[in-house]
Amino acid sequence: KKEPKNINLEQIPTIPLNKRSTIRSLAWQLGCSPTTLHRNFKLNLIKRHTNYVKPALKEKNKKDRMKFCMS
């Protein structure tokens, strides 16, 4: 296996969130290639994080879903 190029991983938290939302933009900010960054993800040197908020269903939506499933 190929060893990833050394990049300063401590620099990541200092980069604003809007400039590190994609692998491509984070790689550009770190001055490395997206492939190098992807290898670091695969080796678990960097952890991905998503903030997914799913809205709760309202009562009417629940009833409508039940009616649809029953039909």
Q: Is the pTM of this model over 0.85?
A: no
- Is 58 domain-assigned? no
Instruction: For 48, list phi and psi in degrees, rounded to 5.
Output: -80, 150
Residue 7 has pLDDT above 90, yes or no: no
Give the integer Cα–Cα distance in Å for 4 and 66.
51
Q: Is 22 contained in some domain?
A: yes
DSSP labels, 21-62: SSHHHHHHHHTS-HHHHHHHHHTTSS-------PPPPPHHHH
Q: What's the structural domain count of the chain? A: 1
Residue 70 lies in a domain: no
Domain membership flag for residue 12: yes
Six-digit token pair at 66?
């039940």
Closest CA to 5 of 41, 48, 37, 28: 37
In this predicted structure, the answer to whether residue 52 has a pLDDT above a threshold of 80 is no
Full domain range(s) for residue 32: 1-49
Structural domain contains residue 56: no
